[in-house]
Amino acid sequence: MILSLREVGKALVAGLALALCVPPLPLGPLVPFVLAGILVWLAPKSPRQAALAGFLSGVVFHLATLHWIKNVMNVGPPITIALGLGLLVAYLSVFHALWAWGWAHCRRGNLPWAWPFLFTGVELLRGWGQMSFPWLHVAYDFGSSLPLLQGVAVFGVYGTGLLIALTAVLLARWRIDGMPRKWLALGVGFWGVWFAAGAVRVSFPVLQGGMKVAVVQPAIPQTRKWEEAYFQSVVAKTYHTISRVEGKVDLWALPETAIPDFWTWRPEIAAKLQTLSDTSGADVLVGALEAIPDASRPEGARVLNSAFLLRPRSQPQRYDKIRLVPFSEHLPFENIVPALNQVKLGQSGFSAGGLVRVWNSPTPWSPAICFEQVHADFVREAANLGARTMVVVTNDGWFGNSLGPRQHWNIHRFHAVEHGLSMVRAANTGISGAVDHRGVVLAKTGMMRDTALVVAVPPGSPSLYARFGAGLDALLWLLSFGAVALVWRSRRRLPASV
């Protein structure tokens, strides 16, 4: 089972090659070839050797793609965060070990075409439940190519991932088993049509008009944002950025926790923002925390990560973040094991909201806070409730000027295209901006710059995946279970692995 030094080196190369496919890095369109190369490398290995090789390449891949999380050490306890990053990398690498192990069993059982469904099942599993972390799905690698990205509006993140995995098996079998070239021609033809259809779709001009949004990026340094002594400076800098906006807008979008405190504790700031809404005649969306008294909680209240909507001469409305970041914002399974509520890691301890909101300004839009738009089903629910634009408020300042905010922008744009919705994104330190329903960039800021921009965002229209994606995902779950059953049945007929 032990791998040679040479095989460990190949694991390093495999992990790095796969990492280079993750936008904004450049090899995204080549991901089927990279994945095929990994399958060729794993082909002669026993299931146990393949699992170990997959785990090692996964460690390299996740260190290369998620190393930016270490920047949180500038704000939080370094030892805890380093330990958390190490555990996260190990946990995610287990999924790589699973699909590598599955590929070895598919080879031994002469079931290579079952593997793409196993691979898709692993991706579905990684994005499911309280431990979900759907950050590095293989389909996101198409985000660096607008023509390739268009097909996700039909197949979604998991269906597109399945097609990439099928292509990887096709290439691997051609390389290993000498599969006839006519099957390669079929694969080339499929992706040629996919690319050409996407290129035609993005060639049409951007629709004019729509909701006019002022996106505010104050670029508050995360290292000082939560200091009480610095609070007035944070507010002053935010208002200085707001003052740069000229002309009439329909909506002001300020970032997640633009008010770095509890909303009800800062009535003077709430009043000032209400005045902005009243005088400009526009809605204002602003992020802040909120606390709702709850004697059942250890701290005596439910702490919420919220976004507040202020409308001219109206009472504020509140949206509470539903999809929380595991461990950073909540501890998984704390509702099953109440003792976990006593554990505090960083800012964990938030409670989840319950309802997706749809507001009009005048286009119907839904708010999303940070990590929420990473989940395809969250955006799908907003689309099916009538939203035509997603307005995302986030604070990627935790991660500095790194790959993290760029990956986050790519994922948010991906899910906007997937569901046929336009997207506005207000980020504290960037990237802020807007895209239409095809992912065409309407406006975009740089990183770490105090910026305000005004952009007209045309409404989108729900895609095929937005309408039928729940059924497609359910079908993929069933096909994945079926593939597992086939492989398990073949495994029982073969001698034990070495």
Domain residue limits, the chain: 5-203+471-492, 211-457
pLDDT in tens, 351-387: 899 999 999 999 999 999 999 999 999 999 999 999 9
Q: Looking at 192-258, which runs of residues are DSSP E strands?
A: 211-217, 251-253
Q: How far apart are CA 221 and CA 233, in angstroms?
A: 11
pLDDT in tens, 32-58: 999 999 999 999 999 999 999 999 999
Q: How far apart are CA 214 and CA 204, in angstroms?
A: 25
pLDDT for the residue numbered 129: 85
Q: What is the mean pLDDT of residues 57-64?
A: 98
Supply 59's token pair: 């460690």
CA distances from 170 to 116, 178, 286 (A): 10, 10, 49
Report the phi/psi class of residue 129: left, alpha or beta, with left for phi > 0 and alpha for psi in -120 to 50.
left
Q: What is the mean pLDDT of residues 395-399?
A: 91
Q: How far apart are CA 150 and CA 202, in angstroms?
A: 8
In the three-class reduction of DSSP (H, G, I as helix; E, B as strand; rest coil), residue 427 is classed as strand
211-457 CATH pick, 3.40.640.10, 3.40.50.150, 3.40.250.10, 3.60.110.10: 3.60.110.10
Contact 454, 469 (CB under 8 A): no
Supply 95's token pair: 């999924």
Look up the pTM and report it: 0.94
Q: How far apart are CA 47 and CA 496, in angstroms?
A: 10
The residue to which tokens 């700031």 are assigned? 269
Q: Which of 58-67, 116-125, 328-337 has the lowest mean pLDDT?
A: 328-337
DSSP string over 325-388:
PBTTTB-TTTTTSGGGGG---TT--B--------EESSSEEEEEEGGGGG-HHHHHHHHHTT-S
Q: What is the mean pLDDT of residues 124-140?
A: 93
